[in-house]
Amino acid sequence: MRALAFEGPGKRAFIEKPKPVVQEATDAVVRITKTTICGTDLHILKGDVPTVTPGRILGHEGVGVIDSVGDAVTSFKPGDRVLISCITSDGRCEACRKAMYSHCERGGWILGNRIDGTQAEFVRIPFADTSLYRAPAGVDEEALVLLSDILPTGYECGVLNGKVKPGDTVAIVGAGPIGLASLLTAQFYAPAELIMIDVDDKRLERSKQFGATHILNSRRDDAAKQVLELTGNRGVEVAIEAVGIPATFDLCQNILAPGGHLANVGVHGKSAELRLEKLWDRNITITTRLVDTETTPLLLKTIASGKLHPEKLITHRFRLDEVMKAYDVFENAAREGALKVLISAD
Ligand SMILES: NC(=O)c1ccc[n+]([C@@H]2O[C@H](COP(=O)([O-])OP(=O)(O)OC[C@H]3O[C@@H](n4cnc5c(N)ncnc54)[C@H](O)[C@@H]3O)[C@@H](O)[C@H]2O)c1
Ligand SMILES: [Zn+2]
């Protein structure tokens, strides 16, 4: 079969690899119909993720059809349409029994990392019963594929951890796919104001179509000062960090109202300063989280009912044999005006 593989730092190739087979009784092999590329795949290509070794097929997002299942798989059979979660869970370890699937002792984020991923014609999914979801009838595959990772990440790590409530003023720093997923799902709770902050005017403009009430370009403006002006010097109830650099974490801690929540979503490679001398008496909460995908069943219902339209985040479409070109576009997202690039393998 054909697949996109990591070939060492800075190198990727569209290669031929044997079709995966069921190895454990709890495995399923899924024929991929739709997949996409994540910012994390770009981190891997830079060599930032040492668990990914050369030859590894990338990708942890996908929708497909069950091709074969091991003897112990009871929930799925060949021909079933499924959503693949970016998080694999055995459903029975201590972490899984607490619904903290991201820290599953035998799973977690392994797809396209420790084992071959979804940017291929077929993928092997361990613990299929607890790592796959049945695709609801009639739901568009383009919407579905955004539920593998970005929607649950923006929702769980940003909106739920940030405790967004009706009437809140919410600032989201980073208008990439994850920040926009937080923007879409924050609206489940009817916040009064949604302020998007980024350095890319195109992304900021687009975020208005997704419900932003204010946009700020932090390269041009003093974003902290403007947020304070917008809120009558009070600050925001919720600041969601969806970039992953010290400057944006700092901005979030500078704009919090007393009692506010700072929900960190970004993956940080460097230490950020914690301004306890300013924050110690402000009753704030700071949270971090790796996406657990525990909200996937709930999010599936919101797209099945038409409440949520994540497919609006797809800007470019390619076939699997054009995946190298899809990466070229995604690597130059600002220039290309790209958010999510969809790859069809059927
Ligand atoms: N916690 C988790 O489980 C989890 C899961 C997936 C992704 N992530 C992380 O979430 C973050 C966002 O992911 P994404 O795919 O949307 O990334 P992305 O790179 O597409 O988006 C980041 C955005 O930040 C903006 N930005 C860069 N520097 C900025 C600055 N100084 N001020 C304001 N904005 C700035 C960029 O213009 C871009 O629009 C990444 O760090 C990613 O690794 C976390
Ligand atoms: Zn587990």
Q: Looking at residue 273, which CATH number applies to its domain?
A: 3.40.50.720
Q: What does the alpha-carbon distance between residue 84 and residue 148 come to, in Å, rounded to a whole number?
A: 6
Calculated CA dihedral for residues 81, 86, 91, 97, nearest 10 degrees: -130
Give the residues across from 340 on adjacent strands: 314
For the chain, the C-alpha Rg in angstroms (whole number) is 20
**Contact present, 63 and 145 (Cβ < 8 Å):** yes
Q: How far is the CA of 77 from the centre of ligand 1 (A)?
A: 37
pLDDT bin (cut points 50, 70, 90) of residue 269 is confident
- Please check whether residues 315 and 273 belong to one and the same domain: no
Reduce the DSSP state of residue 60 to 3 states and report it: coil
- Please check whether residues 230 and 182 belong to one and the same domain: yes
- Please check whether residues 124 and 187 belong to one and the same domain: no
- Please check whether residues 326 and 233 belong to one and the same domain: no
- Please check whether residues 130 and 161 belong to one and the same domain: no
Domain finish residue from 256, 287, 318: 287
Q: Whose CA is nearest to atom 11 of ligand 1?
A: 266
The percent of residues in the chain predicted with pLDDT above 90, rounded, is: 97
Q: What is the pLDDT of residues 163-197, one digit of tens each?
A: 999 999 999 999 999 999 999 999 999 999 999 99
Residue labelled with tokens 């031929």: 16
**Contact present, 77 and 65 (Cβ < 8 Å):** no
- Give residue 124's pLDDT: 98
Cβ–ligand 1 distance for 157 under 6 Å, the answer yes
- Give residue 106's pLDDT: 97
- Domain span including residue 80: 2-149+292-344
CATH code of the domain containing 103: 3.90.180.10
Number of domains in the chain: 2
Q: Whose CA is nearest to atom 17 of ligand 1?
A: 176
Q: How many CA atoms lie within 13 A of 54 on its CB side?
A: 5
Q: How far is the CA of 208 from the centre of ligand 1 (A)?
A: 18
What is the mean predicted confidence (pLDDT) over 58-65?
98
Q: What does the alpha-carbon distance between residue 143 and residue 122 come to, in Å, rounded to a whole number?
A: 20
